[in-house]
């Protein structure tokens, strides 16, 4: 199968490459390496790299025309600077429109979009059902939600996945790499008084395989274990893994741009694809930390202003 991945050098995209290339799929990647890593898109057979941004319509158009993908994965996203409204809008909205229009033009069979759980804003119901209204309030959430709406409005068969925090190789955002990197360096940490749901990369890849082979071509689906844990739970897991005990860590209220609890209800995803996460929270954190032991942590990004102000 011919698969095009926008943002293919990022965490999710690069894991899809490593998962799908060995089983015979042909993959084309578009990435401008704002947050992605060039080394994860090597010069190998059946893998094509086009360096650039999906904001560039001509680049998107020419790449799609030349490659002629059957399936498109829209994983490109701008998120690393919460104050950069312009680039968030350019990539997450204009870029998504460009992808939708070109997919329409060449009659792509299936478009799979990756959406942030922040599209729900501050939820009324937890776990958050797929029927919950969208109410984003951050630049990242607002722009990703607008981009999703344009994709769903197109004539292309579109599946939009609203994702929990997917952990795995090259994870570079959120509390897990932050705590690991800082505790290894004997630096102080803090925990926001919030709860999040986490999902192991292997469970995510299992779902992507099911979607790729499924007759289901349209819909919005939550992707999660359906369970949440506190940020303090993550800190305790990381500290224990590193052999640290009796650490005094301050717990601070959720910032103005944060959400107290985000946990998605994946029941509709189970109904459509027969998919359910296998790994529990402790396994998820342990597997992530074992990967960091082998490969280290490089960049750590956050879409939260409060994290930037306090941690850095």
pLDDT in tens, 259-301: 999 999 999 999 999 999 999 999 999 999 999 999 999 766 5
Claim to verify: residue 154 and residue 288 sit in the same structural domain: no
Q: Residue 275: CB partners within 8 Å, gap ≥ 6?
A: 206, 207, 210, 266, 269
Same domain, residue pair 146 and 238: no
Dist. CA 246–CA 164, nearest whole Å: 30
Tokens 């032991």 found at: 293
Q: Residue 308: pLDDT above 50? A: no
What's the start-to-end Cα distance of the chain, in Å? 44
pLDDT at site 257:
86
Any domain includes 17: yes
Q: Report the b/e string of 272-308 with b at 16+ CB within 10 A.
A: ebebebebebeebbebbbebbeeeebeebbbbbbbbe
Q: What is the pLDDT of residue 306?
A: 53
122 and 242 in a single domain? The answer is no
CATH code for the domain of 189: 3.90.25.10
| Same domain, residue pair 12 and 133 | yes
C-alpha span between 227 and 120 (Å, rounded): 17
Q: Tell me the C-alpha distance between 164 and 170, whole Å.
A: 16
Q: Are residues 148 and 187 in the same domain?
A: no
Q: Does a structural domain hold residue 274?
A: no
Torsions phi, psi for 245 (to 5 deg):
-140, 160
Q: Say what the pTM is.
A: 0.94
Half-sphere exposure of 76 (CA within 13 A, CB side): 33
Which residue is listed with tokens 């990369």?
201
231-241 vs 175-184: helix axis angle to the nearest 10?
40
Whole-angstrom CA distances from 244 to 157, 180, 186, 235, 247 are: 50, 11, 10, 11, 7
**Same domain, yes or no: 66 and 214:** yes
Cβ 167 vs Cβ 201: under 8 Å: yes
pLDDT of residue 213: 96
Domain that holds residue 191: 175-196+227-262+279-311
Residue 135 sits in the same domain as residue 284: no
Q: How far apart are CA 234 and CA 225, in angstroms?
A: 16
Q: At what angle do helices 231-241 and 281-295 cross, to 10 degrees?
A: 50
Helix ranges (DSSP H) in the chain? 11-20, 57-67, 85-89, 95-106, 139-153, 175-184, 201-213, 231-241, 267-273, 281-295, 305-311
Looking at the fold, whether 33 and 145 belong to one and the same domain comes out as yes
Total count of domains within the chain: 2
What's the pLDDT tens digit per position in 93-124?
Answer: 999 999 999 999 999 999 999 999 999 999 99
Closest among 16, 12, 9 to 40, alpha carbons compared:
9
Say whether pLDDT at 65 is over 70: yes
- pLDDT at 312 > cutoff 80: no
In-domain check, residue 157: yes
What does the pLDDT look like over 193-204, one tens digit per residue?
999 999 999 999
- Which of 199, 222, 208 shows the shortest CA–CA distance to 280? 199
Domain match, 211 and 257 both = no
CATH number at residue 125: 3.40.50.720
Name the band, by pLDDT with cuts 50, 70 and 90, for residue 311: very low
Query: For 203-240, how does the pLDDT look when each residue is reduced to its tens digit (9 = 90+)?
Result: 999 999 999 999 999 999 999 999 999 999 999 999 99
Inside any domain, residue 303 = yes
Q: What pLDDT is attached to residue 298?
A: 75
d(CA 169, CA 39): 13
């Amino acid at each position: 199968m011919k698969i095009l991945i926008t943002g293919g050098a990022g965490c999710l995209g690069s894991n899809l490459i490593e998962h799908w290339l060995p089983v015979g799929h042909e993959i084309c990647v578009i990435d401008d390496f704002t947050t992605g890593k060039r080394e994860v898109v090597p010069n190998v057979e059946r893998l094509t790299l086009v360096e650039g941004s999906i904001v560039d319509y001509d680049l998107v158009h020419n790449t799609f025309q030349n490659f002629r993908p059957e399936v498109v994965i829209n994983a490109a996203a701008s998120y690393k600077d919460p104050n950069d409204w312009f680039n968030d809008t350019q990539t997450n909205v204009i870029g998504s429109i460009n992808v939708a229009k070109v997919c329409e033009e060449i009659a792509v069979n299936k478009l799979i979009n990756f959406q942030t759980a922040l599209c729900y804003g501050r939820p009324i119901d937890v776990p958050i059902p797929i029927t919950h209204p969208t109410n984003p309030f951050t630049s990242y959430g607002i722009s990703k939600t607008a981009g999703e709406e344009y994709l769903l409005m197109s004539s292309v068969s579109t599946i939009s996945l609203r994702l929990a925090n997917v952990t795995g190789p090259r994870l570079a955002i959120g509390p897990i790499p932050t705590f690991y990197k800082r505790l290894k360096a004997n630096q102080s940490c803090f925990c926001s008084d919030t709860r999040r749901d986490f999902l192991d990369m292997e469970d995510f890849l299992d779902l992507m395989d099911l979607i790729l082979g499924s007759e289901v071509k349209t819909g919005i689906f939550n992707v999660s274990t359906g369970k949440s844990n506190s940020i303090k739970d993550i800190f305790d897991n990381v500290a224990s893994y590193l052999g640290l005990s009796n650490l005094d860590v301050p717990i601070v209220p959720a910032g103005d741009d944060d959400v107290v609890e985000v946990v998605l209800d994946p029941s509709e995803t189970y109904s459509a694809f027969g998919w359910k996460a296998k790994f529990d929270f402790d396994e998820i954190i342990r597997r992530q930390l074992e990967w960091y032991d082998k490969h280290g942590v490089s960049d750590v990004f956050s879409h939260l202003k409060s994290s930037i102000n306090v941690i850095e």
